[in-house]
Structure 1
């Protein structure tokens, strides 16, 4: 099996699995309990918080543990606007047209509650600009929520420039979805100007079911889950100590290898671009400027062919790729991201995403490209026959 769907989830690292297994077997106490087992679990939780804070160059008390990226995004967005809504500071909120469903649907819910939503546009590479945000700001804007790296297209967004500019608006909270960027490119909340920043463990070699929300010191946030007041009162519920410890280990490894992996990832991506460009029927999406495209994924289209057909055909070769976010993969409609980039509905149903790690090799990229070439040729024959049949019918 050649697994090339790392944006959906990554295989758990052996070192991470060892940490999780050890904690589950030996430190199963509730971290809120007062006895020895509880205190041991609490110490592991504290150490994980310190380690993650060190990786993000922030304070331990700025780290809130969640169940994953979706919860982190929901807590950030809803918690931020509900914290100030009663103060009548405003009801205008800003996001982009290309956000992950866990952000996009949050804004849809808030719109139903009476908040005014502005979706800033993107260009044909899937990118938005600082000017887009500047033009969208209004007197009663209270939140801007934008992703760092687009999960479908791989476009790196100008988050640092936006965050720097937003500092002149202390009443506007800036949330960054960094779920697809952490461990691949530098992610330091303070440098990005983020008040809130979301992470998910299973995107960088950690376990599913664990995530982080960075919250800047002093930022008001309304809890979305009521209960025992864990996580500084921001996220009630008994913490999953083993998964959190594993997440801390995974993030430490990812950050340590980040610089070294970056060169390898771009080399793999460049090889893929070369090989896919040799297949005439395919069209690479995004920008030709490598500096604004994420190193770990490549998106392309097969005009005239539904993406899911290609995916199942590649699976016969033992290859796994995807179309878009795993959260939206069951939706066979045209991609919302590709439509926002200006593609027509027919083309927006043909998008394919390949995502990989630095552990992959150039030979594996070549093997994938060779299998893709076979699949394209096999699928192209019925398309050619159908086109010829239609042409003959028109002549009659």
Structure 2
């Protein structure tokens, strides 16, 4: 099928944590015979910070963030068998959702793909005229980045016909163990952009742990932290390109995952970083959230912390041997159960099933 996918960016992970998620799933769909066109705006300096060139498995249309260019890419939705609007494009989000779904061909599957479902649902609860609430009756389905049954129930409660979580995963061709890099040497590393709904949790789980362990070394990577006051034993790295993720994960004694507020509250939403770290056989410490056992086993494949004190305690007790044991166990688990090959097969089956159901419904009406 021809898939028109309107998202934030396939080419750049700059202020765009969903990039590796899009790449992993869409590459697998292309391998299964689907023709992918990805539409992304030239915005937020992402094109100046590309991680990859346009891949051979997708046609990438980078359009100016103007009303005129928006109209042109919306019109192209009419050529697709599957039209996907992802959340969080960053510019013209409302206009894109309404426009591409209206432009879609009568036979096309219409999908909203929510990569921050908990936050979107919070907005929908407070806005009766929210664009997604208005669009749901006309959509064939909602796919989400995660969220488990709570997100499924919430979307169905708002009128979604179908809601299916498609979780993050590992691409073992891009994230894997590599030799350590002295630039990333430390006891604990954290990678994530500075966002309003994450900052307080980073203060608790990362910066508090650093303050509790002044004799240990800490490294923070990601955009926006340069103006943040931090303990003296914390180094700020700035943006870490995708090609550097393996060394960033492999070099420290341990790496930390900190969920955003909405994802932590609803659970069942492992960040991309969880699988990237596990794929590099890193020893991962994560903040506590419901559903972690679906993905990694606590104390065997991951260490779980309730607060900064727990992070400090884990790090104090951690030996190189124990860290390696946890990392290798996590790597084995994600390669067996959580790869993008498996997620791609899941989405391929979803599209096939939904297209068959839609075709049957049309024949019945005819």
Which TM-score band (shorter chain)?
A: 0.3 to 0.5
* TM-score (norm: length of structure 2): 0.35
* More contact order relative to length (CA 8 Å, sep ≥ 6): 1
* TM-score (norm: length of structure 1): 0.33
